[in-house]
A and B are shown apart, each in its own frame.
Chain A
């Protein structure tokens, strides 16, 4: 079965990508599989300047999930371009840069720097910064801000597709999706983590130094499916499904709703070789359930009348 996908200006040999922040820059997982088996790698969130990230403890395990408050620790875009990207250059895999900034201007600047790199196949804009200069609300929760940030990146992205990664921590994900499309988004990816919390009754402390943190893993899949479902029906821009994917069946659920591709996050921690075999497993499963092709299967959900 042909597993190639092409959507919103991004072409990949299969619909499996790894989610930003959960796969390092790919090289960390290279001992456990062939990176070229993946459709794409979304690199760890990058900012203009290096970021130290949040204090420890930063992660906690929860039933069917985990909380993280890493705080976009990263060495900065220049370091990434000189020291990390070159080792991915020879690999036949789409590398997507994940952008993180705290105002539209900075997002644009970062976008311009990354868009100039041949090896970068697309820009993924992470609009969940909690410390926005203007207004104080998180980007990801304010449709006007989403439009503004998307426009700022799109303007300077040249021919690179711009993928906007939406937060589920909103009352109306569809208006956020429309806002990104209004700003010129070529692709939407969803979802980022849900805001969660965990406490220890004995020490009487939160399990994460930051107190609240992002919930990911199998626990969030139903929320992710709902978001992808609503957005696929509301906008014409292609969607990438993210959230709790830990099997080929999980991945096909997102495709069935209309997603063109999926990203694997927390499942990379459950088995470091998981993402590498996912496309092959999806292909087998499609055959098993009698689908003609991936293309044909996509979005074929039958809804009650």
Chain B
């Protein structure tokens, strides 16, 4: 979670972001401007201070020997940068990226040196249909491997539908609104497969798709 000191009381919560990479000295985030907080973050200048707390919650499963498909929708590409960097056998990875804004907005090209990759842009309803179709094809191909998904909820729902159809193992990264980020406020919960509320910030944000309601 990050919250710039300059926010004062008018913005209350910190905002949750995936860690793209961190090396002890620096922390890299990809941030998309969507509302009040992210717009104010975009205005920060060099030297401004921010409060950061984390790392929070879990991350995607790493199975070095398993063929792994990463499905990224829009800014959902953010966590995959770190994932690729830390994965011991990047030859087993494939990144599929569906996006609306120009590809250059997402630093996509900086992530694809070591992994197989494919991207599709969505500009009209036909593009969306093509993306959904391609997701179905890819998920079937990786049905014995590991599939990781981060993106808008409808994107993750589509991935889940195909994964259930093909019996594929899929993890999704949820994007619920967070108050505290540490498991205390119970504002970010989702229902698990036992119909119980669990905190997304501490039990997630990554869940096996069949163990969580989307």
Q: A63-B10, A270-B14 are in contact. Are A24 and B179 (CB under 8 A)?
A: no
> Which residue of chain B has the shortest Cβ distance to A268 in the bound complex?
B180
> Which residue of chain B has the shortest Cβ distance to A207 in the bound complex?
B177
Query: Using Cβ atoms and an 8 Å threshold, which residues of chain A touch B176?
Result: 56
Docked CA distance A21–B185 (Å): 6
In the complex, whether A73 has a CB less than 8 A from a CB of chain B is yes
A271 touches B3 (CB 8 A): yes
B179 touches A59 (CB 8 A): yes
Docked CA distance A266–B184 (Å): 11
In the complex, whether A32 has a CB less than 8 A from a CB of chain B is yes
Query: Using Cβ atoms and an 8 Å threshold, which residues of chain B touch A28?
Result: 180, 182-184, 202
B212 CB, nearest partner CB in chain A, Å: 12
Partner of B182 from the list A29, A59, A63, A70 (CB cut-off 8 Å) is A29
A217 touches B184 (CB 8 A): no
Docked CA distance A58–B11 (Å): 18
A269 touches B14 (CB 8 A): yes
Docked CA distance A28–B181 (Å): 10
In the complex, whether A108 has a CB less than 8 A from a CB of chain B is no
In the complex, whether B12 has a CB less than 8 A from a CB of chain A is yes
Q: A32-B53, A270-B12 are in contact. Are A68 and B185 (CB under 8 A)?
A: yes
Docked CA distance A73–B142 (Å): 39
B9 touches A56 (CB 8 A): no
In the complex, whether A272 has a CB less than 8 A from a CB of chain B is yes
A215 CB, nearest partner CB in chain B, Å: 11
Docked CA distance A269–B202 (Å): 15
In the complex, whether A76 has a CB less than 8 A from a CB of chain B is no
Give the contacts of B18-53 with A (CB-CB under 8 A).
36, 51, 53
Q: A59-B179, A271-B3, A272-B53 are in contact. Are A217 and B12 (CB under 8 A)?
A: yes
Docked CA distance A237–B188 (Å): 37
Partner of A269 from the list B12, B36, B189, B196 (CB cut-off 8 Å) is B12
Docked CA distance A61–B16 (Å): 14
In the complex, whether B13 has a CB less than 8 A from a CB of chain A is yes
Q: A59-B177, A61-B11 are in contact. Are A22 and B189 (CB under 8 A)?
A: no
B13 touches A57 (CB 8 A): no
Which secondary structure dominates where chain A touches chain B?
loop
Q: A73-B197, A269-B180 are in contact. Are A64 and B185 (CB under 8 A)?
A: no
B10 touches A59 (CB 8 A): no
Docked CA distance A101–B121 (Å): 54
Query: Using Cβ atoms and an 8 Å threshold, which residues of chain B touch A271?
Result: 3, 51
How many chain-B residues does the 8 Å CB contact rule pick out?
A: 27
A59 touches B187 (CB 8 A): yes
Q: A22-B184, A66-B13, A269-B13 are in contact. Are A73 and B3 (CB under 8 A)?
A: no
Interface size class, chain A: 20 to 34
Partner of B10 from the list A22, A64, A272 (CB cut-off 8 Å) is A64
> Which residue of chain B has the shortest Cβ distance to A68 in the bound complex?
B187
A269 touches B185 (CB 8 A): yes
Give the contacts of A236-273 with B (CB-CB under 8 A).
246, 266, 268-272
B177 touches A70 (CB 8 A): no
B119 CB, nearest partner CB in chain A, Å: 29
A218 CB, nearest partner CB in chain B, Å: 4
Query: Using Cβ atoms and an 8 Å threshold, which residues of chain A touch B53?
Result: 32, 272
Partner of B189 from the list A58, A60, A217 (CB cut-off 8 Å) is A58
Query: Using Cβ atoms and an 8 Å threshold, which residues of chain B touch A52?
Result: 196-197
Query: Using Cβ atoms and an 8 Å threshold, which residues of chain A touch B12?
Result: 61-62, 64-66, 217-218, 266, 269-270
Docked CA distance A65–B14 (Å): 13
A52 CB, nearest partner CB in chain B, Å: 6
Docked CA distance A135–B196 (Å): 32
In the complex, whether A53 has a CB less than 8 A from a CB of chain B is yes
A217 touches B186 (CB 8 A): no
> Which residue of chain A has the shortest Cβ distance to B189 in the bound complex?
A56
In the complex, whether A276 has a CB less than 8 A from a CB of chain B is no
B191 CB, nearest partner CB in chain A, Å: 8
Docked CA distance A29–B180 (Å): 10
Query: Using Cβ atoms and an 8 Å threshold, which residues of chain B touch A21?
Result: 185-186
In the complex, whether A23 has a CB less than 8 A from a CB of chain B is yes
A218 touches B9 (CB 8 A): yes
Query: Using Cβ atoms and an 8 Å threshold, which residues of chain B touch A65?
Result: 12
22 contacts across the A-B interface (CB closer than 8 A):
A21-B185, A21-B186, A24-B184, A28-B182, A31-B182, A52-B197, A53-B186, A58-B187, A59-B187, A60-B177, A62-B12, A64-B10, A65-B12, A68-B179, A70-B186, A70-B187, A218-B9, A246-B9, A268-B180, A269-B14, A271-B51, A272-B182
Q: A28-B202, A65-B12, A269-B14 are in contact. List 7 more A-B contacts (CB 8 A).
A: A21-B186, A24-B183, A24-B184, A58-B186, A70-B185, A73-B197, A268-B180
B contact set with A: CB distance below 8 Å: 3, 9-14, 36, 51, 53, 176-177, 179-190, 196-197, 202
